[in-house]
Every structure is written in structure tokens, then in C-alpha cells.
Amino acid sequence: MESKLLVADKINEEGLKPLRKYFQIEVRTGLTDEKLAEIIRDYEVIITRSSTALPEKLIVKANKLKTIARAGIGVDNIDIQAATARNIAVVNAPKGNARVTAEHTIGLMFSLMRHIPQANDELKKGIWAKSKYTGSQVLGKTLGIVGFGNVGREVFRMANGLGMKVVVCEPYTRLPKKVTKMTFEELLKISDVITFHVPMTYLTHSMLNSYTLKLCKKEVFIINCSRGGVVDEKAVFQALEQGSVAGLAIDVFTKEPPIDKRLLDLPNVIATPHIGGSTHESQKQSITEVVHAILQLKEGKVPSNLLNPQVFKKIRQRRLVGGFDTVIFDCDSTLSAIEGIDELAALVGKKEAVAKLTRLAMEGEIKYVEAFEKRLALTKPKKQDLEKIGRLYLDNLLEDVKGVLEALKFLGKEIYIVSGSYTPALTFFGRNLGIPDRNIYGNDLLFDDEGNYRTFIGGPLRRNHGKLQVIRQITGRRIMVGDAVTDLESKEVVDLFIGFGGVVKREIVEKNSELFLYCRSFAPVLVMAAGFDGTVELLKSKYRKYVGKGLDLLSSQKHVKADGKLRRKLNDYKKLAYL
């Protein structure tokens, strides 16, 4: 029987032609939730845009469903977690309308700062209000871009061309060296214009709220072409009325169409009806992008726009030895012998309660997001406390970390820290190890002027599969080294996962690691990252001692556990002991 594909929203149907060879295509738009619930079990693929939502209650009824394709960027209308639980691939079209959404953003910025819509309306009414609408030029202004995905990158490129100073908040994507990276708090404090380009998830909900607005420069301009819930509309309304925000340009709303017209009635607000990505060209490109992804999945290949790669087990042909480009480390109980959050809890007399949450989360007994939020509620860390944790990380550095990292850099390897700890502590730690800030990923917190904790910035590293989301964006052949289940989850997207049990041995990590270290040394990691040729090069350098140590440990089943396939390949390294 031919597989069935449902098109649930209006799209450019001409772009579906390549799929007709594989699917019986049915176009049924405007379906109610009740009707979709009745028929969803019949389809292997569903293509949607923004009108049709696929929440968990519908996904659980989709017995045959293998792929959900969103012909656009935003996927807040799809329950990706529910889809992942049922092994359903979710793809989107991140590039299809990125350029035109960026164009719309820049257009709104000009309209906002030069009062173009207001001046146009009055002139059409016969009012020549030339002196009333004196605006602001963009040249020399600081533009803060929150989110550096495909749209954010295009906005960055265009704004640079306009002579703006551009800063970016993007904790979870590697940024080019030419980009000035900042925390969200830093960006808010210096930007004349702030534009949002992040997905709408429970992590980014109300990023701009009554508290974060107080951190902004007086008379800042705000632009939102991402998702409505990212900006707290009530809080911005109050700031506009009070004059602390100079103007708002908005293409997206918490509820669409917007029910509360008070925001739209303000004279310093310009708005469009979610048309940022709507051009004839972009709609064609979006459907082409998702059709290509559907065909790749059909052929057993992994599309670059797959949002939940953990559902696809055959990510790549993995070469477990032979040298790697990048080594990614967890921090706590890995590079450093301590769990930073537990030490933080000790400062406020909460170590026992927090340590229990840490252990349960690291072993996969509770969801990491649950532990993350409960631990913060218990500790309420001060900014200066996090600097102390950074120092404690250094004071408890494992035995040969510095030498191994130096050797990796000698070979030209990229080194990253991807951790569920807090960014201020991690950056202090990383800088002392020579790891650039752009290669350090942690959780960002917001503090008041006295350094008291106010709230956290939502990001993937506060939940399970968050490290996977970050690591999949790091290029090259990758090794991940970590001790916990949140590290192990990245196994699906790295080329080699090395479990670390030198501080805490976690049974689930030991069982599922291709290589597991019982020792406290990272010399085996160095040998694996270097590969045969790189190891030979190291033997001729001052790092020779780490190679000898690594080879000895790799050959010892007391110190290292390797699966059968990897153990056989490691036998080739034995001859290096005689060089």
C-alpha cells in the first residue's frame, strides 16, 4: 500500500512533485483538531505551516507517522518532545525565509526610527508634519541581536553594511571571530536597538519582561520578528507608556490575530500581521527545503534541518580512531573533581539537598530541568559566589588536564567546554586554561546591581538533550568526554563518546560508552584525539610523556574499558610504544 502524506496548510503545491513518486499526497487544509485526530493515524508524513498545531494529544494518535515537516522556521506549534518520544523526525525550513525575515527586520527598524508609517498616514490625511517626525539615524547606533541562527546572521550582515555597531547574544551557537558576543544582560545594557531572532520555547518565553526591560538603555527601540511570546507584551506596553522604551516594531504576537488592541493604538508602535517571512520566493524555497529533507529521510540519510537527531540512530559512519578535530569536555566531575553546584550549595548551607538532586539528574533518575530549577531555587547564587566556584574548579583540576590541553592545542585541535554549570564560573575556569569564551557553553543567569540572583536565561543546557543540541552545531570530527547521562545523550551526534569515571563512576554511562575511563588521567583522550599520526608527532615533542601514559592506560583493562570493535582497533597503537 502506498504511503500517505498529508498537507495540512496552504503551501506551494508545485514544490511537492518530487514526493509523488513515494507518497499518495492529500491536501486537506483548515482541519479542526477533532477532524485531524480522526485521520492522523493514516499518514506517514505531515507537512504543516503555522496554522495547524501538532500537540502531544494528536501525536500520540499518529501510529504510522514518521516525519513532521514544518514549511517555515518556527516550530512552536509542534510538540517536538512528544514526537521524539515516538521516534518521529521533525524537520523545518530554517533557510527558506531567513533572508526575507531579515529584510523585514531592517525595514521595521528604519520605519521605527524614522517614523515612516506615522508620517505616511498623516500626509495622506493632508497633514504636513515635517518638524513632528524628526527621527534617528542608524549609523553608529548599537544593534543588539538576540539569537544568531539563519535570520540573526542575515540581520548581522545587513546591519554591518549600514555602519551599525552590532553585538550578539547567542550562548549556544559557535560565533565567527568577527562577531562581538555578549551575555543577554550585557547586550541589554548597551544596545540602542534590540531585535529578537530566537525560537519560541519554554526556554525563551518572556525573555524581555518587566525585569529585563529595566536593564535596557533609556529610550531603546525594540523589534520582534521571531515569536510573540518571546516578548512580554504587557511589560513592553507599560514601558512604552512610561517612555523608557522609545518604540516597538512587532510582526508577531502572543495571540494571533491580537486580541488586545491597546498596544497597537500607541503612537510609538508599528506592527505588521506576521508577514516577515511571507514572499513568493521564500514560500517556494521553504517547501523545497522540507521536501528535500523528507526525501533524505526516506533514503536513510540525515538532513541538516533535522531538529531531533536523537531519533535517527544511523547518524554517520563513525570512525572511532584515526584522529579528531575537536574535543568537547564536560566540566564538573570531569575536568574538575568537584560538582560546582554542590559547592555553591555548601556556601548557603544547602549542600545535602542539592547534592541529592545533582546525583539523581546525572544518573538519569529525574529530568535535568527539574534539578536545574530546584537547585537554583535553593541556592539563589550571588554573582561573587560564581567567581568562587570558578576558582574552586581550578583548585580541583585533575592531574594532567593542563598538559593534555596544551598538547591538544599544539596539534591544532579545537577545545570546548559544554556544561550545565553557570557561565561566569565556566568562563573564569576556561580562561585560565586558555579556552576562548566563544568555545564555552553554560547557563546564563541575571543579577541585580548588587549581584543578587534574579532569574535564569532559558537555554538548552538546563534540560536533557540540551548538550546534544549545542554539540551538533560544532563542526569537524568530534570527541565528547563526560561523566553524566546528559553528556551521554550527545553520543548520537559525536564521532566518539568517552565516558569519564575518574571522579564519579555512573553505571549508565559506563555501560553505554564506547570508551570508558576509570582513571583520573586525560592522557588516553589525548591519544584518541591525536590519532596515529598525531601521536607520532607528539612523541617528538615535549608532550611525549602524556603519550606514553595514554598508551599504557589504553592497554590496561583496569583503567580503560573499550568495546570490542574499538579495542581491536587500538591494538594498532601498541607499536608506538617502541618509538
**Is 227 noted as a catalytic residue in this protein?**
yes
Q: How far is CA 517 from the centre of its chain?
A: 28
Burial class (CB in 10 A: 0-12, 13-18, 19+), 383: middle
Catalytic residue among 256, 281, 352, 365: 256
Helix, strand, or coil here: 328?
strand
Residue of 49, 99, 197, 274 marked active site: 274
User: What residues contact residue 93 under an 8 Å CB cut-off, 6+ apart?
Assistant: 70, 71, 72, 73, 285, 286, 287, 289, 290, 305
Q: What is the residue-wise DSSP string for 207-276? A: SB-HHHHHTSPTTEEEEE-S-GGGB-HHHHHHHHHHTSEEEEEES--SSSS-S--HHHHSTTEEE-SS-T
CA–CA dist 357, 19 (Å, integer)? 48
Record the cell numbers describing residue 449, joined without a space: 546591581
Q: How far is CA 65 from the centre of its chain?
A: 26
H/E segment holding residue 572: none
Given the residues 70, 104, 115, 227, select the one marked as catalytic.
Answer: 227
Q: What are the cell numbers at 503?
A: 571522579
CA distance 444 to 455: 9
DSSP 24: E
Bridge partners (DSSP) of residue 159 are none
How many residues are recorded in the chain? 579
507 is known as an active-site residue: no
Q: Please say if 56 is a catalytic residue.
A: no
Which positions are annotated as active-site residues? 227, 256, 274
